[in-house]
Structure 1
Amino acid sequence: MIIREFFINLSIFSFLVSLALFTRVFVIHRTFKYCHLFGGLYAGIIAAILMFFPNTYNAWIFDLRAAPFILSFVYFGRTAGWITTIFICVNIAYHFMGGNQWVLGEILFFGTALLFTVFKTYFKNLDPIKSVFLYMGGFIGVHIFLFTFFSSLKISIAFEITRLLCLSIGLLISIFLMEAYQKLYRLTQNLSKLNQSLEESKQELKETVHEQQGGIFKFKKENKGYIHTLCDGQFYSKCGVSPEQVVGKDLKTLDSSVIPSHLIPRLLEFYQQAWEGQEVTFELPWPNENTFIFISLRPIKREGKVVEVVGSAIDITERKKMEEELRTTKERLESFIRHNTDAIIIFDLEGHILQVNTAYEKMLGWSIHEIVGEKLPCVPEFLIDRSNVTIQKIISGESITTKLETVRQRKDGSLFEISLTLSPILDSKGNVIFLSAIYRDISERKQIEKELKQLHQQLKESEMKYRVLFEQSPDAVYLVELNEDRYPTRLLEVNPVGCKRFGYSREDLLSMPFSDIVPQNSTMLIKIIEKIREGKRSFTLQNEFVFKKTGKKINTEFSVRMFILNGKEVLLLISRDITERLKTETLLRKSEKLAVVGQLAAAIAHEVNNPLTAMKGFMQLLKLTENENNQRYIDIVLSEMERIKSITNEFITIAKPQAVKIQLNDLHMLLKQATALLQSQATINNIQFRTEFESAVPLITCERNQLKQVFINILKNAIEAMSIGGEVLIQVNKLDDHRVCIRFIDQGCGIPKERIPYLGEPFYSIKEKGIGLGLMICYKIVEAHQGKIVIESEMNKGTIVDVILPT
């Protein structure tokens, strides 16, 4: 009875386990993330099912639920094991709630689950078969412990042996199924991967053969014919030959579009040599005369007998072209070396000459036969060490190509200058095997360079001189570009004086349009353009020029010259400030006038004094015989004669140089004496003199009488200008350490502004009875003392006369 029940349980257990394995193998092919959880769930279901088919032995009931419980922990882990434990405990509570042993059953499986968790933690790398027996022993041990110490029922040894035997058989069957599945699954997977890899390799090989640059074909001999068994590769595809046109076909029966008929006898000959065991290589024009292929035939032998021949074909058309180009290049290179005008030398790493060209013979004097094998005989002794260092640098790779200028020695011992280019000659691995040198005779060039250098130096010095003249010129110099209409467009160059006058920097002037620099309505610009358009290429103009930015007016003289520069018409303008020159010319005219006045004054004084003396004498005689009737007339005549004499004395003063006595004088004293002389005249005209002297005014060096005459003349003019009376203020101030100013301020009628510039000229007077000589004499005296007179005046308000003298 127990055996039948056991086999029922075992069959159900085996079926359920097999069902899971079948589903895994044939239904669920992929491994998903929560596979172990589903394993624990399925093991719990199996355990629950097995509890419905228990075994009975001596009134003890047992089943195989422990088998899925153990397998769940072993194969699916702790989480899955606990899921199975929960299923079992729930079913125990369901089946045995009314009995006395259900609590022990719950404790048994919960306790065993805790023990299995410890096993899984510390024996996680243990083999599954060993783990099963370890876990089974743990389960039996916990079962015996609980039912021995905590149950009133006594378990017989026979029951335990039976229980252990049944559990062991169930576990062994399940382990066998699980391990067989694992082995079979791995074997199946490996076999599948191997087949897939094989298919991929075959496909890859096929694709490789198809995609390779050349072409592969095979053939074997059958019935005295050569049958092709393979034909593939990009070479055939590019030529329009498909494998179907060749595979399975005899060489003799191939279509002429594949193999031209005239090539078949030659190919048969090569095929036969290969079938006899020879490795054959040959070139062939195919598929046309312009394309060349290289074919290699290699026999495949088995037991010393040729069973098949493998052939490869590659397109060598480009290689043939390259060979032809290399041959052509070689010929050109040899021709270049042979006919080059520079000497070309090829020598080994020790300096022994291997080859030279014809130019070397002509340049250095050695013949080819004399020089080959010699060790650089053209290098002078004093340059041997330096030459060896340069060669070693190229050999070691420090320098790729060296270019320098040096000297070499001819066969007759003379030295000459050369330009040397030294380069390495490399093999296919990049190693230096030879050296090449190119000599170019630069003796003539060096001589020309020397002459050019001297000429350049001279030009540089000349340019520097002209640049200094240009920069340091006191005149403004402008170089102006003209357009097609001969109108100025821009400045090409300007010197510092020109920049200063326009008020811009040189960079600003050269970047500005000409119309922004010079006003278009400028009189000077209009005159220059008119002269140019009249065809004049060199001329000079004078006019007043107004500068646009500063508004300053300058009397200028423009020297204009037109010429061609770099294919364009340009103007060279030299602008000279002639303001001082015009002043000088004015002064010169004044001087000439003064000279004429002096000469005229001397003549007049001489001519007037002679009759005046006689008249004065006769008038004095008449005075002795005077009577009351003519006394008044005689006094009037004598008074007028004295006036004429004073006038002639002033003429003489102008004409004759006076003896000057220069010494230190006190201005205060001189002004006091001058005012004292004119005090009576001032009182008559209701005029007062008031003086203001600054303290610490130094003494001045002067001729006191001349300076007193200046003060008297100025004060007389002030008195005569103040017809209604008033005050004349005299101020003495120290301007600086070297100058003092004597200022006369009157309250007279004033002088018109337009007449002030003409004051001091001979015979120019604004007074009704003046002769225009007094103020001129004042100017002359003050200028002789290296001073100056400055006059300011305003109509009906008065005049200020400043006499500035050096201390």
Structure 2
Amino acid sequence: MANLLKQSKFGFSLLFISFLLIGLGHIYQSSLNELYMVENHIFIHSILELFSVIVCFAASLYGWKAFEETKNRTFLWLPFIFFVVGVFDLLHFMTYPGMPFFLTESSLEKTGWFWIMARSVASIGLLFLTLSEEKKRTINRKWIGLYTFLFLFCVTSFIYYFEKDLPILIVPNHGPTILKNTIEYLLCLLIFITFINTLVKYQKTKLKADLELLFAFSLLLLSEFTITFYTNVSDVFVVIGHIIKAFGYLFILKAFFFSKLQLTFQQKQETEKDLKNTQVLLQSFFDHTPDSITIMDEKGMVLTVNQGFEKVYGWKENEVKGKLFRDIMPELRENIDYVVSEVASGKTMIAYNTTRQRKDGSKILINMTISPIKDEQGKIVQMAAISRDITLQREAENRMLEMERELKEMVRKQQGVIFKFIKVGEDFIHTICDGELLNSLKIKPEQVVGKKICEHPIEGISDALKDYYEQSWLGEDVTFEITISHITCVITLKPVIVNQEVVEVIGSCIDITKLKRTEALLQKSEKLAVVGELAAGLAHEIRNPLTTLKGFTQLIDSQKGETNRSYIELMLSELDRIEMITNEFMAVAKPQAITFQEHDLIKIVKQIVAFSAPQALLNNIEIKEYYLTEYSDIICDINQIKQVFINLVKNAIEAMPNGGSLKIIVENQNDQIVIQIKDSGVGVPKDILPRLGEPFYTLKEKGTGLGLMVSYRIIESHQGTIAFESEEHVGTTVKITLPYKN
């Protein structure tokens, strides 16, 4: 990086100096021409041209040598291009006005056309090289050399022979003609295209060689422009242009050869170094690998062995070297002869398991790979045998197989079902499935294992399971109930996550049919217990209207007239009330089938309030109702919902033994209907709140502890929630949330 930065600074400095020279030449052209001694022009021009010629021939020579090493297209064409440029520059130098006789007299016509030919070949050739891909080429360069010399001969002869007939490029004391400057500008365009292409390439490679080429093309571009400014061949601009051109060629030589050729030679050295390191590594591997490596000739005679051979077989190298491998273990001779003959015929024995004998006579299980070693002509000259003692490994594998068998047996005897599945594409495939529950479902493991979920033997179950499988494959723990062939099951899915990605899902299935039946019986028992406790209140409430009826009936018997009408109406009202209370009692006490239908929750609450009013009145409790919503339709089983509200209202009444107030609020919150039951009773301690709803856990002396548990289950089955908030000596609030009817 430091060299690249240093090179960049030098190149930019040189470009700056070149621009400065051109600028000063324009401003102080007359003064510079006076300072510049014309009699020294031939000498200076000759030195600069000879420098350019030497650089071109050096580039050609280095390119010729580089192609022998790299076979690269760039180094195939570049030697011939720069050889032609060097020859034309040499002819331009030899035919320059004022030079000695060379074949013919020197003249502006010959030297101008040789200059143009040199610049044209350089511009076109460099553009060709930068646009072409660097590919390996195998070609006879003699033909290219022959065509190159033929081209030089034809062009040189043409210029010498038709010198007087060629268009004039330079007018004495007037400088270049329009034709010459036009050609120069066209060449400038080619160099500019070459510069752009190299710039794009440098942006990708950031190579030092490409940066130096950018400086070279910049200098050549400046040189071509400068040559169009002079008015006389002895003008100072001619010298400036030649100086800039010489530095441009120098950068080309440095870029193509002092960089790329040096890089090529460095790569060759690195390759040789890598080869040597590889040999060292291979030798180290041979000496220190724990596996046994034996090198034999094609007849099976041991040539050399490594240290691993002694660890595996027990023999040292000097004990087996020069012996036939079969003589080391004579009891296994036939087996060894067979293996050696197979490998000698060109076959490779890969992962060949066999039994071998150690020096101490013990038998070991060997995993052996024997390969033939061939020379350049493909003839088998040696054999290499790599052996590994797998006795302990095989014992471990046998133990693992036994453990796997035991594990499968345990899974098979598990009361439920244990299964695993993976996702392949858009399908789920079971990899394990076994358990005693499969027998109850009349399914064999092979009907599930290895099969897609859509191929499940139970019809219709795939649609019920797929959504849950998808959810668990996203990384979530999933638990759900499902009925399979009249058996109610709870399935739990646990994803196995490796590197934040689900690789498989482990599932378990448990039969909870009996548990469900027990739960239903508990619900019925709790309902009967609630009805029994309410019986006293109902009887008292019924006794009061009966007393009224009896009294007014007696009055009717003793009195006659219009006043009897009001008594009769009151008697009828009380009778209706008795009928309503009796109906509610029967609805709660009588077992009903669970049926989800649309009901008005406010109407249900009002019925429960009327039903519970007698007990509240007996306990000096005032029930207040607040209905803050007009729409309260829900989908529910009315008997179960009534059972929940009766339980909660009864609990609230019992929590206020000294009387109080009971508030029932029905409102709308977040598009759900919320029912709050607030009492002013003794409250529940905070450490007990989390245990509410546990079976057989109760604070009542004669309670069963099942009422809240049943209430929780009923609300959950209705897709709702139930929560308790309480403060001792202040009261308790029960909040029930239920979804509206969709």
More helix by share: 2
Give the structure-1-normalised TM-score. 0.31
Larger radius of gyration: 1
Scaled by the length of structure 2, what TM-score is found?
A: 0.33
